[in-house]
Amino acid sequence: MKTIGLQELRFSFRQCGVEEGDLLFVHSAFGSIGKVQGGAEAVIDVLMEILGPQGLLAMPAMTSPFDPFDPLTSKSNVGLLSETLRNTKGAVRSLFPVHSVVALGHKAEEFCSDHDKCTSGCGAGSPFYKLWQWNGKVLLLGVDQDRNTILHAFEHESKASYFMSLEIPAPLYPPYNGNGVFQLVDFPEGHRNFINITADLRENGLIRYGKVGNAVTQLMNAKELHDFCMMKLSEDPYYFLCKNPNCDFCSRARKGEKM
């Protein structure tokens, strides 16, 4: 098996559209790249090198809703790259159960700040909102639109009717400190058909495709993605849901049933 070296990584990420000074939010499947010289740490290092001192690298650091969230020790369950970034010196993690975010670089503290004051993990004031408000980029590295969490933020802004509420164990940061329960409001549980919007995004020139090793990449400007999806959601509030009559969640949501 060919080993992908640092020079190839640098060239490939630049060809994908990663530039100095970017705010880059990455969803990834590290194994899809292939054998990488230096492993996941090397990918983080190369991305930080390209982004430079004014750049910011961020990733989801999601956790199970059924275990108390500890920002210091709860492992990310969305891939090796995300977990590696979480353990990188200088990385900052936002305070919110399930939908926490980890960031490294310029304004990482500000990007992750006040997540604990948000009413919803993907709602107003969250890093997912800041991602388009700060004109960031979304990079799908070996994964598809069904891993693109910012789409939930667009649902939140459009006041989607099919969010759920979920009671979970209290997180281990103040003022909860593991006492009692935590109410997840506007929680994006249930089925979505995010992959189905890929054709629309491609047709409107919103996806830049590339390749890093064996991994296909999709790069999108978060503000452009936001504006397009909000237009679609204003035309059809169920744009992100499937039309399969056998899908219980999407069928009930389209009927306006309380989820």
Mean pLDDT of all residues in 112-136 = 97
Domain boundaries, the chain: 3-159+192-240
- pLDDT above 80 for 259: no
Averaged confidence pLDDT in the chain: 96
Look up the pTM and report it. Answer: 0.97
pLDDT band at 64 (very low <50, low <70, confident <90, very high): very high
pLDDT at 257: 84
The residue behind tokens 């970034």 is 85
pLDDT band at 33 (very low <50, low <70, confident <90, very high): very high
Q: What is the pLDDT of residues 179-225, one digit of tens each?
A: 999 999 999 999 999 999 999 999 999 999 999 999 999 999 999 99
